[in-house]
Amino acid sequence: MTAPTDLTLADAARDVAARKISPIELTRAALDRIAALEPAYNAFITVTAETAMAEAKRAESAIAAGRYRGPMHGIPYALKDLFDVAGLPTTCHSNLRADHRAAADAFVVTKLREAGAVLIGKTALHEFATGGPTMDLPWPPARNPWDRAAHPGGSSSGAATAVALGMAFGALGSDTGGSVRNPATCCGIVGLKPTYGLVSRTGAFPLSFSLDHVGPLPRTVEDNAILLQAVAGHDPTDPTSARRDIGDLRGGIGRDIKGLRIGVIEHFFREDAEAEAEQVAAFEQALATLRDLGAELRLVKLPPLKAWSDCGRTLLQAEAFAIHEKDLQERPQDYAPITLGKILAGAFIAASDYIKAQQWRAALAQAFTQAMQGLDAVVTLSSFTVPCRVDDVAAVARTYERHCRMPFNLTGTPAIAVPTGFSAGGLPLGMQIATRAFEEPMLYRIAHAFCAATGLTERRPPILQSIDT
């Protein structure tokens, strides 16, 4: 018999709707899994056990009374701890926010409450969604679910770890330069950076106003679409929120991809940089799978990866410094050194350089638009490296320079990270699929067909039989 925590979000939702399992059972199972594994993996900052059980009981009563709200009703989920939940701290994994309490819910939290979802807790991240794994903070860094010694990716690290281990059926993270897709790749789950403006950022502590995206982190492609459907939509309080009909984001799931035209961006990791052999080999096998499924593949050339990385770094650092300037002046000692160094770099970016970067960004986005002509999607690597040791500071720092996720933050177009296999050491490998703005259903169609053919999202990390913290 399948344990409740081994169910996908979609399967759990179907079982809840059919009254085969109750929200109370799901929530108890998730809390039991957290109690058993959290000491080893540090996925959570706050576990909301009492309120989660209360929400689960309300969901069960509503469903019993015939008031079923949809596939998130009664489903336990987690939040990266930069989203506000009324009455709870929003720590951003930082000393500066240790005493903070949110006055109101973030927009996405309100949407999930309306959907009847059950908040199980708030998860670890890199301080203020930057920095990196460090012991210089009140909460230890999250660990990789496939190997506790390995880096789980950042900055939405705890969210990905919690989902991969069955502590939650899905989670929300934020992605400024890859912070949903990086942990998804490192932890072997499915992470989407949606189109800029599709999901409101109201109530999410910002890192970079023009690059931040809110994205779902569940185990499977269908789960991802369910969670995105629940949180997407126009928010009049967010000036960047898109006014458009969302439609059925799951509409393409289950359709074949025969005849779809998919561009392959290889120069990012063959010419502009050199990816590790295991990542490249898994990507090549993924391309073979897409061909076997009937997709037509062709090489695509974009501006060099360095152009995207330099442009994105300039915007991110300048905007992050503007957000943190007051605290940097008054409380610099309360930042972890790794975070302080990254954010302070923005103090040395001239206004003229920032304006030029915005102009540069427009040109890069136009290049992507032109490259997409005649294509349904593009594919490329996510990370260039296999997850390194989480305690190897230099190696972790290098991983944040060895990826090609920033291009899609600059374009604001959707990109999804899916598993492509495992390294010889048993660590996940992955790729990205990207397309035009607001074409998430196309991404889900391709990603679902690929994952169904490979079965990679069905694999689960080994569960520790004993915990030595």
| Sheet of 118-123, strand order | 44-47, 118-123, 76-80, 171-175, 213-216
Contact 313, 342 (CB under 8 A): no
Closest CA to 421 of 273, 299, 286, 254: 286
pLDDT tens figures, 81-105: 999 999 999 999 999 998 999 999 9
Q: Residue 393 CB: number of other CB atoms within 10 A?
A: 13
Angle at 412 between CA 406 and CA 418, to 5 degrees: 60
For 6-307+338-458, CATH gives 3.90.1300.10
> Residue 464's pLDDT band (boundaries 50, 70, 90)?
low
Q: Out of 157, 174, 179, 241, pick the active-site residue.
A: 179
466 is catalytic: no
Q: Rounded distance, CA 186 to CA 416, Å?
A: 14
Inform me whether the pLDDT recorded for 1 exceeds 70: no
Give the burial class of 240: count Cβ atoms within 10 A of its Cβ; 0-12 exposed, 13-18 middle, 19 or more buried. middle
**Is the pTM value of this prediction over 0.95?**
yes
155 is catalytic: yes
pLDDT tens figures, 144-168: 999 999 999 999 999 999 999 999 9
Closest CA to 390 of 144, 164, 197: 144
CA torsion angle 235 436 271 264 (round to 10): 140
Contact 416, 377 (CB under 8 A): no
210 is catalytic: no
Rg of the Cα trace of the chain?
A: 21
Q: Out of 22, 94, 155, 423, pick the active-site residue.
A: 155
Q: Out of 80, 122, 193, 342, pick the active-site residue.
A: 80
What residues have CB less than 8 Å from 257, skipping those under 6 apart? 290, 293, 294, 295, 445, 446, 449, 450
pLDDT tens figures, 346-398: 999 999 999 999 999 999 999 999 999 999 999 999 999 999 999 999 999 99
**Residue 370 CA from chain centroid, whole number:** 27
Domain range annotation of the chain: 6-307+338-458
